[in-house]
Structure 1
């Protein structure tokens, strides 16, 4: 199995990319990597090139670039060439820490979507209470608006992913809404509820409100990209603010408060670890012909390693083809 890697994407590329890839290479002997980027910069951090091939590129897509324009004008960039390798069957999956919009565009316009899926969706893993598995939420930004049929398709793909990659036998699927009652929400959500309720092979448990996203009550939550992105940013911002303020409260209020902070430090580390999503890997762009994964731009080498594990599990379980077969069968019925 080969993974095409945009080695130049991200805040700390290519160092963290190379370090994480080498660790993954040493862990899984049946994986090979195609690293696209500046050869001299990559070699600076590469210890050995066993099962790692560098493809030198002269361009890179920056975080400030306009996504669609970038993939059309920077055709020799590390991201676009990595995407073309997947399209041409030279690699089985695409991985990048770079520009999210450009990666979405590369996935849709270069790699290509599954025929029966109307719109691909971006799906990260969020932390939940009392579980290391987290919750998957989609869409969180690929589509600002969604039709009920999109939400149904995303629920199916999210369920397949949860079974294959997270090993959840019967994943619980929920619809993000402004109330738990069946008749809550606008016409889109009411219709989506009925579709999900009657979709075979998914365990639909009904609506879920935003205050329960991290409760562990669902394994997969479906929503439109506008709402999903807003909810995701609200969660990230709240977590960052809470942890920062807690640190200031404990460290800036005298010696006795600091002594108390030292006593409770082990318990507080557990709270910090809950919001550490490095082991969850990256966000998956579901609905494409091959796995396309986006890790956070500020990711470290550990996140890169676990994202490769995530891709490895998807390839090993043939997750994309399972979704393909499901939608092909659904279109025949």
Structure 2
């Protein structure tokens, strides 16, 4: 394998496919530099035509691996496992398994990506399933939130696993030596929430894990930075993430309308341009969600990602690969009492 960084890209996944993945690849390549290499999976003729339309040549950096097979956005994970071999998503993850690439990026079907990644890469410790995480902007910096869409239903044991994974990820990605952890709930009192959340709360308090567990946190604590890591199931996490995205877009649209409503407001906007750009960037939702717990780096971009979003996901994947992130997660899991082992054969499920 080449000593340069190599990333494996599913060019056909997501709502917009090649319309955004190839321009995003060109954008990411400019930021990552000429030493970055990309294995791009999908329809060769379409990818070649899309690359030719870019202002900057990527010749020498891109290798196209042809396939005309794509996992549909509505396919269930079990179906993707039966029929997905040879698809652009499958091949993108398989390149990480074979060592040809250090990380894979896809905007495709979330449940299918989780299932394919688990099958091909396996879990890095005695864990049940991988989960998706987001680095959530807060008044204090970033909070790691997980799961944000890979596991719709989670029992107490899964939530405890997510707490351990989230602590390890936050240390590796954000440099916090001992991250604080909270469990998302409808209230902060011990009696609040459904049975699985209360049981996870008890296990985290009494289980002897070497974690700085804060207790329950509520929805409005997500942007306050009350804790470094917020744990929840994939259903709640995905709803929270998409609600936050919608609110951010609403605020941005309303602010734009207000600042262009008159000559005076436009002049004021011009004077405050730098501050407004900074404000807009802070409102941008997380563009990339790494799948945690795998023997390799896989990053999920939003199905509806635009060019800048998918480019950001590629750059996140590059950063994680360069930092030997998967090995750091495995070390942290061992420290917290999860030894190496084979994943169990439970049913795979997920949602976008």
Normalised by the size of structure 1, how large is the TM-score?
0.84
Alpha-carbon contact 1:151-1:222 (below 8 Å) kept = yes
Give 1:39's match in structure 2, choosing from 44, 69, 72: 44
Instruction: Determine the structure 2 residue equivalent to 1:143.
Output: 151
Alpha-carbon distance in 2 for matches of 1:21, 1:231? 28
Alpha-carbon distance in 2 for matches of 1:218, 1:294? 24
1:208 aligns with 2:217: yes
Give 2:121's match in structure 1, choosing from 100, 111, 119: 111
Instruction: Determine the structure 2 residue equivalent to 1:232.
Output: 241
Deviation at 1:249, TM superposition (A): 4.6
Gaps of 5+ in 2: 340-352
CA 1:2/1:256 → structure 2, altered by over 3 Å: closer, same or farther?
Answer: closer
Deviation at 1:214, TM superposition (A): 0.9
Alpha-carbon distance in 1 for matches of 2:288, 2:332? 24
Alpha-carbon contact 1:139-1:228 (below 8 Å) kept = yes
Deviation at 1:261, TM superposition (A): 5.7
Deviation at 1:293, TM superposition (A): 0.5
Instruction: Output one character per residue of 1:175-195: Cα deviation in whole Å (capped at 9) or x when no partner.
Output: 111222344323322221232
Instruction: Determine the structure 2 residue equivalent to 1:190.
Output: 198
CA 1:311/1:247 → structure 2, altered by over 3 Å: closer, same or farther?
Answer: closer
Alpha-carbon contact 1:71-1:80 (below 8 Å) kept = no
Deviation at 1:228, TM superposition (A): 1.2
Deviation at 1:327, TM superposition (A): 4.1
CA 1:48/1:141 → structure 2, altered by over 3 Å: closer, same or farther?
Answer: closer
Normalised by the size of structure 2, how large is the TM-score?
0.80
Instruction: Output one character per residue of 1:205-259: Cα deviation in whole Å (capped at 9) or x when no partner.
Output: 222100111112222110111211222222222222233334445545x666666
Give 2:70's match in structure 1, choosing from 57, 60, 63: 60
Gaps of 5+ in 1: none
Alpha-carbon distance in 2 for matches of 1:281, 1:50? 27
Alpha-carbon contact 1:16-1:300 (below 8 Å) kept = no
CA 1:39/1:167 → structure 2, altered by over 3 Å: closer, same or farther?
Answer: same
| Higher relative contact order (CA closer than 8 Å, sequence separation 6+) | 2
Alpha-carbon distance in 2 for matches of 1:48, 1:264? 37
Alpha-carbon contact 2:24-2:308 (below 8 Å) kept = no
Alpha-carbon distance in 2 for matches of 1:235, 1:24? 28
Instruction: Determine the structure 2 residue equivalent to 1:174.
Output: 182
Aligned to 1:9, what secondary structure does the other structure show?
coil
Question: How many residue pairs are counted as aligned between the two chains?
Answer: 326
CA 1:66/1:151 → structure 2, altered by over 3 Å: closer, same or farther?
Answer: closer
1:15 aligns with 2:22: yes
